[in-house]
């Protein structure tokens, strides 16, 4: 059974879900998610001989939501992972992340390879620091309409999403899934600054089989404190670019796995398809070529739990 508790890490309290015993595997969710996005991984990974822990990351769910925007930099997020590993009585762990959790996992492996036994990222590929701050680059490329730039405006997306959290989450999950009619169309997530992000999103009359009404209820409850903590991650994108300058040109060295869906919008971001194609040459310890899941959208481990679990278990055992 999955057990829940609070853990003190770096001056904040993190809610964690935990199951199994053995080598530690830390599962890091993305936006707008919670520990629950890994529900299909707990049993199989625990049965395979691992201790599985999924936190609500800072700003999410039952974990603390620091008020200061500056408390959500990539260094804080990596610090939470390293601190959590040590708070759980371990020196090293496998780290797996999806969506925003993937950059946190990749950067944990990049900044603290001594702590990471292996790293896996779903949807978002490994970080290779660009020549420009990301928010500035996307603002220039898409005239300020890219969703990162919309999210970075204080209080704006916060208010839009908080009007009806359940509808917000239902729309975002359907829009990003492989079941959406626009999935895999190569369209960039652009926002009408006057109407907001949700206005043009399709809304499913019936949820996909992999995302039940009960799942939506649980996810909605996890955003009872609002969306500001989660959105503050995006407000640090340019700051993260500044803070990671010392690692310009560095690569992730622990054993690594990358998995993505062919109907996921993120791998179609500008420059990302070219990066994915080059990963086997760029990553010295990439365990296998990037695994592309046919028909899978953005919510990788939820849409394709069997394939993801099989890939993760093979990787962790190897």
Residue 99 is a catalytic residue: yes
Rounded to whole angstroms, how far apart are CA atoms 46 and 22? Answer: 8
As a dihedral over the C-alpha atoms of residue 218, residue 188, residue 265, residue 243, rounded to 10 degrees, the angle is -80
Rounded alpha-carbon distances, angstroms, from residue 79 to 87, 108, 122, 228? 12, 8, 21, 20
Q: How far apart are CA 264 and CA 94, in angstroms?
A: 25
Tokens of 285: 């310890």
Active-site choice (36, 65, 98, 298): 298
Catalytic residue among 64, 99, 179, 264: 99
Residue burial 78-100, b: 16+ Cβ < 10 Å; e: rest: bbbbbbbbeebebebbbbbbbbb
15: annotated active-site residue: no
- DSSP letter for 11, please: T
**Maximum CA extent, the chain:** 51
| Active centre residues (catalytic) | 99, 298
């Amino acid at each position: 059974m999955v057990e829940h508790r609070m853990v003190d890490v770096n001056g904040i309290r993190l809610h964690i879900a935990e199951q199994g015993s053995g080598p530690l595997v830390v599962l890091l969710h993305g936006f707008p998610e919670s520990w629950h996005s890994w529900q299909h991984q707990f049993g199989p990974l625990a049965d395979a001989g691992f201790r599985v822990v999924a936190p609500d990351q800072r700003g999410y769910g039952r974990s603390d939501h620091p008020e200061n925007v500056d408390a959500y930099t990539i260094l804080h997020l990596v610090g939470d992972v390293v601190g959590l590993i040590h708070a759980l009585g371990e020196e090293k762990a496998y780290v797996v992340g999806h969506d925003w959790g993937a950059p946190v996992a990749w950067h944990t492996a990049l900044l603290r390879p001594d702590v990471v036994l292996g790293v896996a990222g779903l949807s978002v590929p490994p970080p290779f620091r660009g020549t420009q701050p990301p928010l500035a680059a996307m603002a220039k490329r898409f005239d300020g309409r890219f969703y990162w730039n919309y999210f970075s405006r204080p209080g704006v997306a916060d208010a839009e999403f908080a009007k009806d959290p359940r509808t917000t989450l239902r729309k975002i999950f359907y829009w990003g899934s492989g079941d959406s009619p626009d999935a895999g169309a190569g369209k960039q997530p652009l926002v009408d600054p006057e109407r907001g992000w949700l206005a043009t999103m399709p809304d499913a009359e019936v949820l996909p089989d992999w995302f039940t009404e009960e799942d939506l209820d649980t996810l909605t409850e996890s955003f009872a404190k609002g969306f500001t903590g989660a959105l503050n991650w995006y407000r640090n994108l340019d700051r993260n670019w500044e803070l990671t300058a010392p690692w310009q040109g560095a690569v992730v060295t622990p054993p690594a796995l990358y998995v993505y869906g062919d109907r996921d919008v993120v791998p179609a971001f500008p420059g990302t398809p070219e990066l994915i194609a080059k990963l086997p040459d760029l990553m010295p310890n990439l365990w296998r070529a990037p695994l592309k899941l046919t028909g899978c959208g953005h919510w990788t481990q939820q849409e394709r739990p069997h394939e993801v679990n099989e890939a993760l278990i093979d990787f962790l055992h190897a």
